[in-house]
Structure 1
Amino acid sequence: MIKLNIEPPVTGKYALSHLGFRPFFLAAGLFAVIGMVLWTGIYSFGWAGLPADYPAIIWHAHEMVFGYAVAVAAGFLLTAIKNWTGQQTLHGLPLLGLVGVWLLARMLPFTGLPLAFTVLADTLFLLWLLVATAQPIVWVKQWQHLAIVGEVALLLVANAVFYLGLLGYWPVGMQLGLYAGFYIILALIFTMGRRVIPFFIERGVGCPFEARNNVWVDRLSMGLFVAFALADLLVLGTGSASAAYCVAALALVQVGLHGIRLAGWHHPNIWQKPLLWVLYLAYGWLLLGFLLKFLTVVAGVSPWLAVHAFAYGGIAMMTVGMMARVSLGHTGRNVFAPPRSVIPVFLLLFCGAFVRVVAVWLFPPFHAVWILAAQLLWIAAFSLFVWQYLPMLVKPRIDGKYG
């Protein structure tokens, strides 16, 4: 039986609870600023505040994945699933409740309460998100979208593994859970990016254009990405040298496969459209991440270069670009006429990624300076994003519709 999709009437001056992208994109943007301010203080200026049994660098890594990135994914999925299924996804007080549990999990590590409270809140959030994403798909029997739900379920498992490590029950689980969550987020980006980026490019370049996609590239790249992630987790868990060389080989193949995909999506007009070139450059950072992962094994470069190419350049730029576009489209605005402020947002993030990866790599004596610069560029970019998009996310659609 299919649940009827009945939208409530639009009332009041505010619409934060109408659709998932609104509170979650705002929460992600604010947390990107506040979380990085905290990390800058902890890393660069020696601030305290976290419990002794929660190492600061582990907190930073966990919150970038399961805090920021998962918030963006939640907002995007709760919005996209409504479009796919025609069913009203979580909204109103239940949606705000879900965001509230997410926020509680972010705050609890700084309260001095036992870490078990953080574990409980974070686990409850992901369980609730899993149910909220699965229900509409099950109602309309769109089984082709179950892979997305499966990735949310895997995030729940990865987070549980992380907390088993953090609480001391399975020490290696902390690292395995972090990297598993990181790779699941990348898998979500590759899955959703393949669906929407070429579509956005075709509609946005302003002339007839068909982005080239190859089915064999799609299938092979995702299959080999799963193999790459599993092999890397094996290396982390066992230290296997043979698995490390397998990781390097698979990473190099990924560079080629995603390079073919990126070449097929290119059109010169992309560079005139900020909401297109930001996604294109972000995808390029993901390719660089695979290349640096290869060099980590065969040339001994720092593994953190690959991590931050994926995270700062790839995930951050991709998610901000997607939030900027989705927020325009789902508030009734013209996606082909974004605010001019998105350009400095995107450029600040690109420069921050360049500093964090390339400058740190080529000029290591200035490591501390580069890290601080990258942190400040991140804070500036997300502060500008929140300042520009907060009114759109909070106020009703300009066309009077619910959503």
Structure 2
Amino acid sequence: MIKLEITPPASQRHAFTHLGFRPFFLAAGLYALVGMLLWTALYSFNWQGLHSAYPSITWHAHEMVFGYAAAVAAGFLLTAIKNWTGQQTLSGTPLLLLAGLWLAARVLPFTGLPLVWTAVLDVVWLTGLLVAAALPIIRAKQWNQAAIVGKVALLLLANTLFYLGLLGIWAQGMQLGLYAGFYVIVALILTMGRRVIPFFIERGVGCPFTAQNHSRIDRASLILFLLFMLADLLAMASGHPGSAWAAALLALVQVPLHILRLWGWYHPNIWQKPLLWVLYLAYGWLIAGFALKFLSLAAGISPFLAVHAFAYGGIATLTVGMMARVTLGHTGRNVAEPPSLVSVIFGLLLIGTLVRVVAVWLLPQFYALWILMAQFIWIVAFALFVWQYAPMLIKPRVDGRYG
């Protein structure tokens, strides 16, 4: 049973285990770096270090979703839920054990051990995250937060389906689980983005400003994304062109909807604040992902352009921006004065997205070069992120408080 420490004393000792953002943001940053080095070796240099029954491209896709993105989600949720509920979230040894389960599931595919062990540990760690996220919400009786816990449950279900496919139990499980998990992460990013991006902009532009949010847009975006996700998964499962066109049209409808949302959050001062413009531009790449999803069917372009607009430009760039800001705030630093290096990190990820999506689209004859370049840019960006932020995540808060 996971034991939560209800009222931990403010202390400088063992700061690394005070809140979930510390181990999981560090793990996410390091894994984005190491995982991409491994993917570059596997894909671009034909390294054979991965388990022979695990296709390398499938491993890459799975680990970006259930490895990197899930670690960021764990760090964010185990920190934010404490603020929302007033209940202490997982800390101390239980937090390290949860992070250790995550790490073990990342390492096992390269050990040669049967993949069933990877599957078991990966499912167990997500189950632990689900319990750790749900308990404080249940104790505080904040049932309005149930949707967040529901997304973690769906992520767990998607990962289970993936491994049923990988282990040969249900052939369609691998693709359906992978894309279901991917869309759950996109949904989580959209949900958290709606909560925090306008909040950060209002408090970061340096002048009175109220970001515009419309309940109709919020409800419509939630319903349309759910329908889009179900239609696309149904199209994969059935191969029916009607489902594929339904998914494409549902993706297209979301483009103007999210543009309106983004316009309501706009203030010209965001361009003076890297921790604001990175979130704004990353959200824009999510919108581009919906447009490219439609074009993949309507114009016959590669569906992986949409995937990487969502993943590289949207998920990766937005999560790095979030980690950069959350780390500053929760280690007692001034979020209005981030390290100057963050602009370089954010700029590299946005350039990498252009290479992986736009250059690949317009100049496909240089595909291998663009892929290698996008991999290299990603590696440099995350190396800089880890170099800049690892000391903040490991060391105690600068103000001496708990957290």
Which residue is equivalent to 2:8? 7
In 2, Cα distance between equivalents of 1:281 and 1:11? 37
Looking at structure 2, the residues matched to 298 and 127 of structure 1 have their Cα atoms a distance apart, in angstroms, of: 39
Q: Name the aligned partner's letter for residue 6 of structure 1.
A: T
Equivalence for 1:16? 16
Matched with 1:321 is: 321
Q: Is the 8 A contact 1:148 1:188 kept in 2?
A: yes
Q: CA deviation at 1:9?
A: 3.7
Distance 1:193 1:148 in 2: 13
Give a deviation string over 1:191-226, Cα, whole Å, max 9, x none: 111111000000000111111111000000110000
Indicate if the aligned counterparts of 1:331 and 1:397 stay in contact, CA closer than 8 A.
yes
What amino acid is aligned across from residue 9 of structure 2 in structure 1?
Answer: P
Q: Which residue of 2 aligns with 1:117?
A: 117
Q: 2:201–2:276: 8 Å Cα contact kept in structure 1?
A: yes
Q: In 1, distance between residues paired with 2:51 and 2:137? A: 40
2:334 aligned partner: 334
What do residues 72-124 of structure 1 show as CA deviations (whole Å, max 9, x unaligned)? 00000000000001111000111011000000000000000000100111011
Corresponding position of 1:51: 51
1:241-264: per-residue Cα shift (whole Å, max 9, x none)? 011111111111110110100011
Unaligned runs of 5+ in 1: none
Alignment of 1:115-264 (within 5 A): 115-264=115-264
Q: How does 1:66-81 map to 2 (within 5 A)?
A: 66-81=66-81
Q: Deviations over 1:33-67 (max 9, x none)?
A: 00000000110011011122110000000000000
In structure 2, what is the Cα distance between the partners aligned to 1:372 and 1:147?
38
What one-letter code is carried by the residue in structure 1 that aligns with 2:363?
F
Deviations 1:333-367 (A, max 9, x none): 00110000000000000000000000000000000
* CA gap 1:74/1:202 in 2 versus in 1, 3 angstroms: same
After TM superposition, where is structure 1 displaced by more than 4 Å over at least 4 residues in a row? Answer: none
CA contact (8 A) 2:161 2:177 kept: yes
5 Å-filtered alignment, 1:34-49, equals 34-49=34-49
Would the alpha carbon gap of residues 4 and 171 (structure 1) be closer, same or farther in structure 2, given more than 3 Å must change? closer
Unaligned 5+ segments in structure 2 are none
Q: How many residues align?
A: 400
- Whichever residue aligns with residue 351 of structure 2, its letter is C
Measured in 1, the distance between the counterparts of 2:54 and 2:42 equals 13
2:82 pairs with 1:82: yes
Q: Is contact 1:29–1:385 with CA below 8 Å preserved after alignment? A: yes
Take 1:357 and 1:4, find their aligned partners in 2: how far apart are those partners? 45
Q: Distance in 1 between matches of 2:34 and 2:5?
A: 40
Looking at structure 2, the residues matched to 236 and 332 of structure 1 have their Cα atoms a distance apart, in angstroms, of 47
CA contact (8 A) 1:5 1:86 kept: no
Query: What CA distance in whole angstroms lies between the structure 1 residues aligned with 2:167 and 2:336?
Result: 48
SS in 1 for 2:109: helix
Cα distance in 1 between the residues matched to 2:251 and 2:7: 46
Contact 1:278-1:318 within 8 A present in 2 as well: yes
Instruction: Quote the offset at 1:4 in angstroms.
Output: 8.6
What corresponds to 2:372 in structure 1?
372
Q: Deviations over 1:370-395 (max 9, x none)?
A: 00000000000000000000110000
State the alpha-carbon separation in 2 of the partners of residues 165 and 111 from structure 1: 20
Please state whether the residue corresponding to 1:16 is helix, strand or coil.
Answer: helix
Equivalent position SS for 2:44: helix
| Counterparts of residues 286-325 of structure 1 (less than 5 Å) | 286-325=286-325
Corresponding residue number in structure 2 for 1:360: 360
- The two structures have a TM-score, normalised by structure 1, of 0.98
d(CA) in 1 for partners of 2:22, 2:111: 27
Say whether residues 1:30 and 2:30 are aligned partners: yes
Cα distance in 2, alignment partners of residues 361 and 251 from structure 1? 19
Shift of 1:5: 3.7
> CA distance change for structure 1 residues 29 and 4 in 2, over 3 Å: closer, same or farther?
closer
Q: Which amino acid aligns with 1:232?
A: D
Equivalent-residue separation in structure 1 for 2:186 and 2:143 (angstroms): 22
**Letter aligned with residue 220 of structure 1:** A
Shift of 1:15: 1.4
Give the alignment's Cα RMSD to 1 decimal: 0.9
Q: Cα offset for 1:279?
A: 0.2
Looking at structure 2, the residues matched to 265 and 241 of structure 1 have their Cα atoms a distance apart, in angstroms, of: 37
Q: 1:301 to 1:372 in 2, by over 3 A?
A: same
How far did 1:11 drift? 3.6
Shift of 1:271: 0.5
Q: Give deviations 1:102-161, integer Å, cap 9, x for gaps.
A: 000000000000001001110110110000000000001000001100100111100000
- Tell me, in whole angstroms, the C-alpha distance in 1 between the residues paired with 2:119 and 2:173: 14
Q: In the alignment, is the contact (CA less than 8 A) between 1:162 and 1:177 conserved in 2?
A: yes
Question: Quick one: which amino acid aligns to residue 120 of structure 1?
Answer: V
Residues 4 and 87 in structure 1, CA contact (< 8 A), matched pair in contact too = no
| C-alpha distance in 1 between matches for 2:254 and 2:284 | 12
Please say if residues 176 and 237 of structure 1, whose CA atoms lie closer than 8 Å, have aligned partners that are also in contact.
Answer: yes
Identity of aligned residues (%): 69
Q: Give the 3-state SS of the residue equivalent to 1:47 in structure 2.
A: coil
